Amino acid sequence: MKPSIKLILFILCLPVVVMAQQSSDVVDLKKHKVVIQFNDADSVSQSRVVLQVQNVKAAWPNAEVEVVCLAGGLDLLMTNNSKASKAVAEWSAKGVIFAACNNTMKMRKVKKEDLLTQAVVVPAAIVELSQKQEEGWSYFRGGK
């Protein structure tokens, strides 16, 4: 009878084993999503915002991250004005979205071809930021 008791004990313990495993890698299973509002043109703010992307990806490698650039913040994504184009390219390759506000582009007479190839154009920053929050993303104001 002994093996049978062992088997019963094993079966009874299975849910506990599964639950223990789930709790051990609970961090990787949780889907974090962060949308960043970025308004500033200066080089300190530009390098700061890509550092903030790095910080969130270091803690949550699977997090979805989107940087929405408007007003002066569009400079981060302009070929001639970006002080962090290398970091934008690197993080973009790892799935981070860099979005340019089309309303800002029209106001500042910036064309799609003036932007880094990684930039994605969205119709309006305020709409993009709101929509992401409606879908459960957290908000962060990027920059210095």
Q: Which of residues 65-84 bind its own copies (CB under 8 A)?
A: 71-72
Q: Is residue 25 within 8 Å of 119, Cβ to Cβ?
A: no
List 21, 22, 23, 55, residue binding its own copies (CB under 8 A): 55
Q: How far is the CB of 85 from its own copies (least distance, A)?
A: 22
Closest CA to 78 of 45, 119, 28: 119
Q: Identify the three-state secondary structure at position 116.
A: coil
Distance CA 142, CA 31 (A): 21
Residue 138 within binding range of its own copies, rule CB under 8 A: yes
Q: Which of residues 11-40 bind its own copies (CB under 8 A)?
A: 32, 34, 36-37, 39
Establish how many alpha carbons lie within 13 A of residue 26's alpha carbon, considering only the half-sphere containing its beta carbon. Answer: 6
In the complex, which residues of this chain contact its own copies (CB under 8 A)? 32, 34, 36-37, 39, 48, 51-52, 55-56, 58-60, 71-72, 103, 123-127, 129-131, 133-134, 138-141, 143-144
